Amino acid sequence: MLYQLHEMQRALLTPFASFADASAQLFSNPFSPLAYTPVSRRIAAGYELLYRLGKDYEKPAWDLPTTLIDGVEVPVTESNAVQKPFCNLVHFERGAVHRSVGKGAGAVRKDPKVLLVAPLSGHHATLLRDTVRALLPAHDVYVTDWVDARMVPASAGPFHLDDYVLYVRDFIRELGPDVHVISVCQPTVPVLAAISLMSTENDPALPRTMIMMGGPIDPRKSPTQVNTLATTKPYSWFENQLIHRVPPRFPGAGRKVYPGFLQHAGFVAMNTDRHAKSHYDFYLDLIKGDDEDAELHRKFYDEYNAVLDMPAEYYLDTIKTVFQEARLPQGTWDVAGQRVTPGDISSVALLTIEGELDDISGSGQTQAAQDLCSGIPAANKEHFTAKDCGHYGIFSGRRWRTIIEPKIAAFIRQHERPST
């Protein structure tokens, strides 16, 4: 019933948001005489703030039409390499490098193939846009683009955490044995499980490397507010309070989900003061005419406020298996009837990355993979802690671009298969 009430609220707010948007334009457009009244900027700023607080946020576009390779701009084409009911494997295919002279002119450069596994934890995969942008110049990038569960017909069946693991395994097999797998936050757990299963089976499609960033491999280490919530509430609380059915107007009508709007409320509640200050600063920037800072605010919240519904089965499995029972580090997790044994991994190089100031996955949670993967030789394992870096900073922003991405690129090339 809560989901239906939320949709009613959205329907009521939509005309008010549209009115606020039109009014903001009326008091700011240079062709409008009202834009030249003494308090026009304040009025326009107030209306735009109301509009952004009341509007509905859809999934943003990737918006990565080009990349630079050795200083040469090349086109990037986005396509679905694999389509599954709950996830599309998106390929960012780079065009040929056109130079007037020099080696490789007019050719598509052969760079390491990377599978970037995006989180299924509330936001769309486009949250990793900056991650993809930094990888594109020197890598052939594929990304898991998870589908909003409310858009998946109930006839597609349920989606469990085990299904996530098997999806990842399928994607690795699709891309072949020379792929490098990067997982950001939540997917570090299912990615480690998938590669563990493949190692146990001596799968010929095993990847070259696995790079794990800011994820809850062992959430018992340095527990954060996220970990505490998951472990202090009983499983029944999550099942009874957070799970709702998709309303009739969506393709997934009747499907049980953890709604995106509830997740978003939780995100905001974790840092209420910070978000309130950000919106007030946005209002002041509009009044001052500081268009650059105002646009940065718009871009951030266009992404941050765009959320998706998660399948109920997957969400509840994650709460129980990953956080409450910590089955991965305990060695008690079975996927599709097979025990997940990270110690069986021997031929895949491992790099773990943590942010010193990460308040989502605490210190040591990702590094725990180093001990679990006891079969990997020490020479093929590496850990890095990014100083003065929070959770989002390890995959987005200046530190990601200047410190972390170069380290990942060097690690990948260190473990590339020698050319023949």
pLDDT in tens, 128-158: 999 999 999 999 999 999 999 999 999 999 9
Tell me the pairing of strands 72-84 and 87-94: antiparallel
DSSP state of 32: S
**385-410 pLDDT, tens digit each:** 999 999 999 999 999 999 999 999 99
Cβ-contact 162, 197 below 8 angstroms: no
pLDDT tens, the chain, 420 aa long: 788 888 888 788 889 889 999 999 999 999 999 999 889 999 999 999 999 988 888 899 999 999 999 889 999 999 999 999 999 999 999 998 765 545 555 667 889 999 999 999 889 999 999 999 999 999 999 999 999 999 999 999 999 999 999 999 999 999 989 999 999 999 999 999 999 999 999 999 999 999 999 999 999 999 998 889 899 999 999 999 999 999 998 999 999 999 999 988 887 887 889 899 999 999 999 999 999 999 999 988 998 899 999 999 999 999 999 999 999 999 999 999 999 999 999 999 999 999 999 989 999 999 999 999 999 999 999 999 999 999 999 999 999 999 999 999 999 999 997 654
Distance separating alpha carbons of residues 280 and 142, to the nearest angstrom: 38
CATH architecture of 112-238+310-414: 3-Layer(aba) Sandwich (3.40)
State whether the Cα torsion 68-69-73-78 is positive or negative.
negative
Q: Which residues of 146-179 are buried (b: 16+ CB within 10 A; e: fewer)?
A: bbbbbbbeeebeebbbbbbbbbbbbbbbebeeeb
Q: Which residues, listed in sequence order, are joined to residue 244 by a DSSP beta bridge? A: 257
Query: Which residue is listed with tokens 């993967």?
Result: 373
Region(s) of the chain under CATH 3.40.50.1820: 112-238+310-414
Global confidence as pTM: 0.91
Answer whether 151's CB lies under 8 Å from 180's CB: no
